[in-house]
Structure 1
Amino acid sequence: MDTSAPVKILTVCTGNICRSPVAERLLQAGLDQAVPGGFQVASAGTRAMVGEPMQPISADIVRTFGGDPEGFAARQLTPKILRGVDLVLTMTSGHRGEVLQLDASLLKRTFTIREFARMLDVLDQRDTSSGSSGDNTAVDDDGWLAAHTAFWRGLPARAAGVRHLSLPADPAENDIVDPYRRPPEVYRQMEDQLAPAIVSILRHARLNSAVRNSPARGGATGAP
């Protein structure tokens, strides 16, 4: 497996015009700050409105959080799009099932975005409690990129290992509400559910980018 390629993340919803585009553009923007060049984030829909831009309120949410909604066009989820993806983050448990119908080999790499974020929170709390931190050993660019890729390709298994510690009281808390053709307040509900999950994923990326941003390498300090 190519350790020089960016880690590939795919976000999935139904029409690919409301929820998954927001997750795609905000994850890409935040991950680019944490680990420049280390990630490639894309999205698709299980019943996509192919070629359509993201909905205007979704685009506003992306801009509010510092992302760029321009140039987006909805895509239909296909086995070809899933090929080579390292991590699939779906907006609902139902979408997760549809992904696995297309490619069962992704079973251990597909999560709803909210459940994955809770798992990362557990991992981060464990690291904080144990006092562990990123390796600050100076490495060359090739060595860092290989370590980064290996870390993220192994992350789904580590996250799944703490699933039992991150179960919600209500399974509906795994899902992001669908705001399509609904009032603006439903988009705000979507935002309130999605934003904390994205923050948790970006925090995990920053906490584990110490090698890249280490003073030993003279690198950038990363996003605040």
Structure 2
Amino acid sequence: MSATRFSVLIVSTGNVCRSPIAEELLRAQLAATIGPDARAFRCESAGTWGHSGAGMESHAAAVLAERGIEPGSFVARELNPDQVLEADLILGATRDHREQVHLLDPYAAGRTFTIREFARFARRVYPATLPEADPAVRARALVDRVAMLRTPRPGPGRPDDDIADPFGAPLHVFRLCADSIAEGLAALVGHLTPASAAGSRSSSAV
């Protein structure tokens, strides 16, 4: 884990649907919310049973294109311990992915969540209580707060913490999947600017 950068690792099963969608959506949300500061964030994805070397599933690429995101030459890869060790925050699509990360590195438990689980706890953190600092510092503080709210240890979670695998489903199912992912990631990205700045943007948007 770097002191000057913040690394997010997103995990699903094959790394061809949910996790690449989340990787690209997170990158886009960061750029839209914090602008040049997004360069301090590294967004990656992997699969617990990754189709290493495969491209993104066509419907996954299509839903990103509908949102104005060009994923480029994405290549799937399988999750490995080094990725877990280097990540400041690990977000699984489901509770099973979270547990697979724990099996690789039990010490990663305090920074490993499902996307929806992290969002659920992050919404309980008042942005003004985070440090008035750059986004990477605020992100670290947010992960610490979320981990504290989940103490004393990660529990089994809730069924609605999972985002279902859309592999093989029609395009509209991928759209619903992308909506769920985007909503969950917004709970992270929305905390990365000081409350005063966020309030100013909200006021100007009214």
Name 1:41's counterpart in structure 2: 43
Amino acid of the residue matched to residue 149 of structure 2? V
Percent identity (aligned): 35
User: What is the aligned counterpart of 1:186 among 173, 176, 186?
Assistant: 173
Number of residue pairs aligned between Structure 1 and Structure 2: 191
The CA distance in 1 between the partners of 2:55 and 2:93, in whole Å, is: 18
CA contact (8 A) 2:17 2:166 kept: yes
* Larger-Rg structure: 1
User: What is the aligned counterpart of 1:156 among 113, 118, 143?
Assistant: 143
Shift of 1:77: 0.3
Amino acid of the residue matched to residue 18 of structure 1? C
Name 2:164's counterpart in structure 1: 177
Deviations 1:97-124 (A, max 9, x none): 001101111010000001111211111x
Name 1:220's counterpart in structure 2: none
**Tell me, what secondary structure is at the counterpart of 2:72?**
coil
The CA distance in 2 between the partners of 1:93 and 1:55, in whole Å, is: 22
User: What is the aligned counterpart of 1:202 among 173, 186, 189?
Assistant: 189
CA spacing shift, 1:132–1:107, aligned 2, 3 Å: closer
| RMSD of aligned residue pairs (Cα, Å) | 2.6
User: What is the aligned counterpart of 2:65 among 39, 63, 66?
Assistant: 63
Which structure 1 segments of 5+ residues have no match?
136-143, 165-169, 214-223
Deviations 1:37-85 (A, max 9, x none): 1200000000011111111111122223333211100000011222211
CA contact (8 A) 1:25 1:69 kept: yes
CA contact (8 A) 1:7 1:149 kept: yes
Name 1:15's counterpart in structure 2: 14
Name 2:201's counterpart in structure 1: none
Deviations 1:186-213 (A, max 9, x none): 3233123222112222222244695xx9
When normalised by structure 1's length, the TM-score is 0.75
Which structure 2 segments of 5+ residues have no match?
152-156, 199-204
Amino acid of the residue matched to residue 50 of structure 1? S
Name 1:216's counterpart in structure 2: none
Amino acid of the residue matched to residue 173 of structure 1? D
Q: Which moved more, 1:195-204 or 1:98-107?
A: 195-204
